């Protein structure tokens, strides 16, 4: 939730799609939603328990929704239950989707899971990435957070025209001196997030909710 707050200037996301909806995700999802925003419940298994005053005073919407085909939902549910992806959408003033953010997990870090928030534009190019949690070696693998030049090197890159690997493996991304596993894991995870977006682009675009008079 801290990463979402940082990305939105503390306001929260205008739209949150909760593909998990259990084990506390239902509470986090609503908490991530900004005032007058919408929290879409797509997963199942948990219980939404929110004081009515919190809903009324902040004018937030709670909406049950299924996006895409049954197979699309099944894939999203498997990924979400495995803790591999969480999706947030960004909209413009007319209600159209202009970007998305995925919280994904690189399971092959040097010291375990690396949790990454990947923001992208509607064309499927990276806007920014942020590592939200990790246990990589201080002074080596933690460059995935502290090496700002490396972190910012993802901006503007898409699936086409980019070799999604570290340079040691023939790719476009630097590895760190004495640490290759950590950046390799992040690069791989970001690529998978872009591939996921590409596969579900039609369903994400279908989430547009233009306001009256929108262009």
pLDDT tens profile 5-64: 777 888 888 888 776 677 778 888 888 899 998 888 876 667 888 888 988 999 998 887
Give every strand in the sheet of 97-109, ordered side by side.
61-64, 33-41, 13-18, 85-91, 97-109, 112-121, 126-133
Give the pair of three-digit tokens for residue 29. 């999802």
pLDDT attached to residue 212? 42
pLDDT above 90 as % of the chain: 36
Calculate the alpha carbon distances from 47 to 23, 188, 191 in Å.
Answer: 9, 34, 33
Identify the weakest region by mean pLDDT among 11-20, 118-127, 180-189, 204-213. 204-213
For the entire predicted model, the pTM comes to 0.61
Q: Whose CA is closest to 101, among 90, 93, 113, 92?
A: 90
How far apart are alpha carbons 132 and 137 in whole angstroms? 15
| d(C-alpha 83, C-alpha 97), whole Å | 24
In the block, residue with structure tokens 């004018």: 59
CA distances from 14 to 33, 36, 99, 168 (A): 6, 8, 12, 40
Among 121, 114, 119, which Cα is nearest to 141's?
114
Compute CA 10 distance to the chain's CA centroid, rounded to the nearest angstrom: 17
Q: Is pLDDT at 78 greater than 80 in this prediction?
A: no
């Amino acid at each position: 939730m801290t990463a979402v707050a940082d990305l939105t200037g503390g306001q929260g996301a205008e739209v949150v799609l909760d593909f998990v909806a259990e084990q506390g995700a239902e509470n986090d999802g609503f908490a991530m939603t900004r005032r007058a925003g919408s929290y879409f419940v797509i997963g199942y298994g948990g219980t939404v328990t929110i004081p009515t005053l919190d809903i009324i005073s902040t004018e937030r919407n709670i909406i049950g929704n299924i996006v895409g085909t049954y197979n699309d939902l099944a894939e999203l549910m498997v990924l979400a239950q495995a803790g591999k992806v969480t999706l947030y959408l960004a909209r413009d003033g007319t209600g159209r989707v202009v970007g998305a953010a995925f919280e994904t997990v690189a399971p092959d870090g040097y010291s375990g899971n690396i949790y990454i928030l990947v923001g992208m534009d509607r064309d499927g190019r990276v806007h920014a990435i942020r590592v939200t949690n990790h246990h990589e070696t201080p002074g080596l693998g933690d460059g995935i957070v502290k090496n700002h030049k490396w972190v910012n090197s993802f901006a503007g890159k898409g699936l086409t025209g980019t070799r999604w690997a570290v340079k040691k493996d023939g790719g476009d991304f630097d590895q760190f001196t004495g640490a290759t596993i950590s950046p390799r894991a992040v690069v791989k995870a970001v690529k998978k997030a872009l591939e996921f977006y590409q596969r579900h682009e039609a369903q994400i675009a279908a989430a547009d909710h233009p306001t009256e008079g929108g262009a």
